[in-house]
Amino acid sequence: MAASAGMTMAKRVLVLNGPNLNMLGQRQPEIYGRTTLAEIDADVETAAGELGMEAVCRQSNHEGELVTWIQEARGDFDAIVINAAAYTHTSVALLDALTLFEGPVVEVHLSNIHRREAFRHRSYISGATLGMIAGFGPVGYRLALLALADRWRADGGAP
């Protein structure tokens, strides 16, 4: 629908999940819990609606596909929420793609990466983000949307 005078379009948020997160709920529940990615996506879409946003959720096991989606998000999405999974700790390509995106980026991790192995303590993509939410499980994605809503409110934009 085209926006008319006084009408605010919902902010569009692209929610990206990286490699192996499609396995959530099936392995390592002691680290990642029992919630499936489909359940997380459904909750994110509900939370976005409650905040007057629209969320589009995607997952890929392929670095290049994530890069392409981030490139294509320019001009189509207002923000990105990303759990880059293992690529967090390796990918200059994702950092570069996220740096080119004009809107805010929020990084999410289900686990507290700073309580885990040393190689997980470093995030390559953090340099392109507003901030990181880590260690709160699936609710982290909702917290990321709240952080975006708060930022947009502070900036005087919708929602």
- Considering the candidates 87, 109, 124, 141, report the single residue annotated as catalytic: 109
Q: Is 109 one of the annotated active-site residues of the chain?
A: yes
| Spatial distance between the Cα atoms of 65 and 3, rounded to a whole number of angstroms | 31
How many helices and strands in the chain, by DSSP H and E? Answer: 5, 5
122-135 burial code (b ≥16 CB/10 A, e <16): ebbbeebbeebbbe
Using the minimum distance from each CB to ligand CA2, give the nearer residue, 111 or 126.
111
Smallest separation (angstroms) from ligand CA2 to the CB of 1? 35
Query: Rounded CA gap, 35 and 25, in Å?
Result: 5
Closest CA relative to residue 85, chosen from 116, 56, 55: 116
Q: How far is the CB of 115 from ligand CA2 (least distance, A)?
A: 10
Nearer to ligand CA2, 11 or 109 (CB): 109
Shortest distance (Å) from residue 148 CB to ligand CA2:
18
The residue among 122 and 153 lying less far from ligand CA2, judged by its C-beta, is 122
Using DSSP, state whether 138 is helix, strand or coil: coil
Per CB under 6 A, residues contacting ligand CA2 are: 20-21, 23-24, 27-28, 32, 83, 85-86, 88, 109-111, 113, 120
Active-site amino acid positions = 32, 109
